[in-house]
Amino acid sequence: MRIYTQNNCNFCKKAKELLQLRNIEYIEINIEESAYGKKFLKDFGYETVPQIWTDKGTHIGGYEELVKHLLPKRKSTVLDSDMNIGVMRDATKPQ
């Protein structure tokens, strides 16, 4: 993963702690120390940090999106209101 951060950023700190807790390696680019990093975020219109990308180049977003990204995929129960029965569906597939 690649994470763009800045000094004194609580969400940046939380994101790095979460990645460390999950034993996920990452490269940190502090935009206060890297003119390239700051320009990269600005050129793509990102105004907040952290901004996080996967190793494959997929943009995840910030801390809250990282949390969602790392949650395991699971099935959920949806109530079928017409028949009043519980129906299982795959939460990762569109309806």
Q: Is the pLDDT of residue 86 over 50?
A: no
For the chain, state the CA radius of gyration: 18
Domain with residues 2-70, CATH architecture: 3-Layer(aba) Sandwich (3.40)
CB-based contacts of 25, cutoff 8 Å, min separation 6: 1, 19
pLDDT tops 50 at residue 46: yes
Residues 70-82: what's their mean pLDDT?
60
Lowest mean pLDDT among 24-38, 41-55, 62-76: 62-76
Instruction: Tell me the average pLDDT across 57-83.
Output: 77
* pLDDT at 70 exceeding the cut of 50: yes
Instruction: Please tell me the pTM assigned to this model.
Output: 0.74
Question: pLDDT-based confidence at 72, cuts 50/70/90?
Answer: confident
